[in-house]
């Protein structure tokens, strides 16, 4: 007999701040997939967790005046923390791994040593471009206009003694894994990996750091801590008992290799290149698939903790219900592509699909069964010409749904179910049960119509269980459907529900939302949240003796400094931009020509306070396309951070000629 096992994972999230709807999106998708596989009878292992080491967390903890361990404990286990959020969202994970768990720490040390003993990890000196917020080293060729390709912020030169993983050794095997197999999905992501990362030449990967201490110590070389990706990626194996005895080794044998890792597109690189290479080094089987899902954007920008434009899943789930939020996320956005979150879309989806189509179908069916038959349908039922179309749609549903689910195309799978729900609503119009009810002789036909509706609903609800676990349970109760008829097998074909079905009208499971009222309330709430976040972000003016330590950039030579060309420039025009609240568009004269500089000072400076002023600019910065290439910023305005989080601009005397060199 075939042994049906399914192992699925989410990324392990950084608990550097509370999680937001982007993390919820991936976790809900993983949960839906896990529930779907359980429904099909698979023995499922669903793993999620948190990635708790690294510089960013060390810094955040210092800012909060607590130890890094206390900091992550609070975000993971504390009130409204990660675990609370997953409980609220009805996430059915089987295991939760924290990379600070003792067993994981010990296992990573063993894994690191094993790769070192094999010669796949060696000691060297790291020189590179480092993006502090992203904790990522980049090669020169990967930078976009000299900045981090992920977040667009400036990088710094960094150099230190470090251990390296021989990634280059595995380049050709990884390349053929990506090109010749279905390992990386969607397929469209393969080109980017091959052309941007593998073909330009894979460099060995820095896997230890000495510049911070919040990490897993390299036990044979004090001072070094394991740097992010070995620690983070092997979570998928240590949580199954690999190299540790917290879980039985049998779990690893049973569930490894993973069937699929769901990850956001920004970490596809780590999962599709570095992860297989490390597994090759450890001589372990490779996961069957990595699926890189798209981003949820907000107002056209990626929602992210560091940009401060996040949507709080708690607010939405508490207002509209957990299932409505789960459903919205998977019904609205194709999983492999980016999507733009908006409150309008959320409310519209809930009202259209859940309240109008599904909720109405259920309440009309149960209400009519009660009204016309006291809840229990008579078994004497009469077929009619309208039945065949509906039956055919229901009979075709499960395979169509399954085909989409197997591709992780949640949106399409749900579209299949909702097409049948729409078909059932149409069937009500075609059969007009309220007309049949007027005539005693039509009662057998009326009973059949209501049976068809109840049975259609039952099959649809079985397939909706992975998405709407709580509400399906309530709906089954209203339809009098027991557990034996909530199964995958029972959804294969129309007709499993006994003819004498007993229905009763219960609470309205998806009440309609007053869109105008809710939109106003949500907007007000989000503005408030943003203002609070901004206030919390702005550091208090530091007293001299408690000033935060300055973050220094590496020393540079005089020659390097001389490469920076700073000049006095005259601001000839300054304007706000409709595309961005943060940026001002400046037209400055540099002594030779006018150039455009986009500067992130709109929060603190009004255009009229700059026009006509003489300011300092970095004149030889490579031009940088911004706003999807709509503008090119040709330089940088020199400004100083102020203690309250604002910015101060130095003005030169009006008679100083534009173009004067600053040194």
**Which residue has 């917020």 as its token pair?**
133
**Min dist. Cβ of residue 51 to ligand ME8 (A):** 3
Rounded distance between C-alpha atoms, residue 288 and residue 85, angstroms: 29
12 binds ligand ME8 per the rule CB under 6 A: yes
Q: What is the DSSP string of 320-370?
A: H-HHHHHHHHHHHS-TTS-EEE-HHHHHHHIIIIIIIIIIHHHHHHHHHHH
Nearer to ligand ME8, 27 or 456 (CB): 27
**Min dist. Cβ of residue 57 to ligand ME8 (A):** 10
Q: Which of 33, 216, 296, 509 binds ligand ME8 (CB under 6 A)?
A: 296
174 binds ligand ME8 per the rule CB under 6 A: no
Buried b / exposed e over 449-468, threshold 16 CB at 10 Å, is: bbbbbbbbbbbbbbbbbbbb
Nearest CA to 324 out of 437, 463, 471 is that of 471
Strands 290-293 and 184-185, bridge-based pairing: parallel
What is the DSSP code (8-state) at residue 181? S
**Min dist. Cβ of residue 385 to ligand ME8 (A):** 48
25 binds ligand ME8 per the rule CB under 6 A: yes
**Which residue has 């049975």 as its token pair?**
455
**E strand spans, 494-635:** 566-577, 580-589, 594-599, 614-618, 624-626, 631-633
**Min dist. Cβ of residue 406 to ligand ME8 (A):** 20
CA angle 267/16/319 to nearest 5° reads: 95
**Min dist. Cβ of residue 258 to ligand ME8 (A):** 12
Looking at residues 362 to 401 of the shown chain, list those that interact with ligand ME8 (rule: CB under 6 A).
none
Nearer to ligand ME8, 304 or 478 (CB): 304
**Min dist. Cβ of residue 212 to ligand ME8 (A):** 16
Query: Kind and range of the H or E element at 171?
Result: helix 171-180
Pick the piece of the chain touching ligand ME8 (CB under 6 A) from 10-18, 69-77, 280-288, 498-506.
10-18
53 binds ligand ME8 per the rule CB under 6 A: no
Looking at residues 208 to 267 of the shown chain, list those that interact with ligand ME8 (rule: CB under 6 A).
232-233, 235, 263-264, 266-267
**Which residue has 């290479």 as its token pair?**
277
CA dihedral 203, 208, 212, 213 (to 10 degrees): 160
Q: Binding-site residue total for ligand ME8 (CB under 6 A)?
A: 21
Nearer to ligand ME8, 337 or 439 (CB): 337
Nearer to ligand ME8, 298 or 320 (CB): 298
**Min dist. Cβ of residue 503 to ligand ME8 (A):** 40
Nearer to ligand ME8, 242 or 451 (CB): 242
Nearer to ligand ME8, 232 or 509 (CB): 232
x/- binding map, residues 301-330, to ligand ME8, per CB under 6 A? -xxx--------------------------
CA angle 545/550/556 to nearest 5° reads: 145
What is the DSSP code (8-state) at residue 626? E
Tokens representing 66? 């607590």
**Min dist. Cβ of residue 337 to ligand ME8 (A):** 11
Binding site for ligand ME8 (CB under 6 A): 11-14, 22-23, 25-26, 51, 232-233, 235, 263-264, 266-267, 295-296, 302-304
């Amino acid at each position: 007999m075939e042994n049906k096992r399914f192992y699925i994972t989410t990324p392990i999230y950084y608990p550097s701040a509370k999680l937001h709807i982007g993390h919820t999106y991936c976790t809900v998708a993983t949960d839906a997939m896990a529930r779907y596989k359980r429904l099909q009878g698979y023995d499922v292992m669903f793993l999620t967790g948190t990635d708790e080491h690294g510089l960013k967390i060390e810094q955040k903890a210092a800012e909060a005046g607590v130890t890094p361990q206390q900091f992550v404990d609070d975000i993971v286990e504390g009130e409204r923390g990660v675990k609370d959020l997953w409980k609220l969202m009805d996430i059915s994970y089987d295991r939760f791994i924290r990379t600070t768990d003792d067993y994981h720490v010990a296992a990573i040390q063993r894994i690191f040593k094993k790769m070192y003993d094999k010669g796949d990890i060696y000691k060297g000196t790291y020189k590179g471009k480092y993006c502090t917020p992203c904790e990522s080293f980049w090669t020169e060729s990967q930078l976009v206009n000299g900045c981090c390709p992920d977040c667009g912020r400036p990088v710094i030169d960094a150099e230190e003694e470090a251990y390296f993983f021989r990634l280059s050794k595995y380049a050709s095997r990884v390349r053929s894994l990506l090109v010749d197999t279905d390992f990386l999905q969607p397929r469209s992501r393969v080109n980017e990996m091959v052309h941007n990362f593998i073909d330009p030449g894979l460099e060995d990967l820095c896997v230890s750091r000495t510049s911070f201490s919040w990490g897993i110590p390299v036990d044979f070389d004090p001072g070094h801590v394991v740097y992010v990706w070995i620690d983070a990626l092997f979570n998928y194996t240590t949580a199954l008992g690999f190299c540790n005895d917290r879980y039985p080794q049998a779990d690893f044998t049973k569930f490894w290799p993973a069937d699929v890792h769901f990850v956001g597109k920004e970490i596809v690189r780590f999962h599709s290149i570095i992860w297989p290479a490390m597994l090759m080094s450890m001589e372990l089987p490779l996961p069957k698939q990595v699926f890189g899902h798209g981003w949820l954007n907000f107002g056209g920008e990626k929602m992210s903790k560091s940009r401060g434009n996040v949507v709080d899943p708690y607010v939405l789930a508490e207002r509209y219900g957990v299932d409505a939020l789960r459903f919205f996320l998977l019904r609205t956005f194709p999983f492999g592509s980016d999507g733009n979150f908006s409150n309008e879309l959320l409310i519209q989806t809930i009202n259209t699909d859940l309240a109008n189509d599904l909720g109405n179908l259920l309440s009309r069916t149960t209400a009519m069964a009660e009204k016309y038959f006291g809840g229990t349908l008579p078994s004497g039922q009469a077929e009619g010409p309208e039945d065949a179309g509906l039956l055919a749609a229901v009979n075709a549903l499960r395979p169509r749904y399954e085909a989409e689910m197997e591709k992780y195309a949640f949106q399409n799978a749900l579209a299949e179910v909702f097409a049948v729900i729409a078909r059932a609503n149409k069937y009500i119009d075609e059969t007009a049960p309220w007309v049949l009810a007027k005539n005693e002789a039509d009662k057998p036909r009326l009973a059949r119509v209501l049976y068809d509706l109840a049975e259609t609903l039952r099959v649809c609800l079985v397939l909706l269980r992975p998405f709407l676990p709580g509400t399906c349970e309530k709906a089954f109760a209203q339809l009098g459907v027991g557990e034996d008829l909530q199964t995958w097998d029972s959804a294969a074909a129309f007709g499993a529900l006994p003819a004498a079905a007993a229905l009763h009208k219960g609470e309205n499971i998806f009440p309609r939302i007053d869109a105008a009222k809710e939109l106003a309330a949500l907007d007000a709430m989000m503005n408030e949240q943003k203002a609070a976040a901004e206030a919390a972000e702005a550091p208090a003016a530091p007293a001299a003796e408690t000033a935060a330590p300055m973050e220094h950039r590496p020393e540079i030579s005089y020659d390097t400094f001389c490469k920076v060309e700073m000049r006095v420039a005259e601001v000839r025009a300054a304007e706000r931009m409709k595309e961005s609240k943060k940026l001002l568009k400046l037209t400055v004269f540099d002594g030779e020509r006018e150039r455009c500089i986009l500067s992130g000072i709109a929060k603190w400076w009004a255009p009229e306070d700059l026009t006509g002023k003489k300011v300092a600019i970095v004149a030889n910065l490579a031009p940088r396309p911004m706003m999807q290439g709509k503008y090119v910023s040709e330089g940088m305005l020199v400004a100083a951070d102020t203690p309250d989080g604002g910015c101060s601009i130095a003005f030169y005397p009006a008679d100083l000629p534009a173009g004067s060199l600053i040194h």
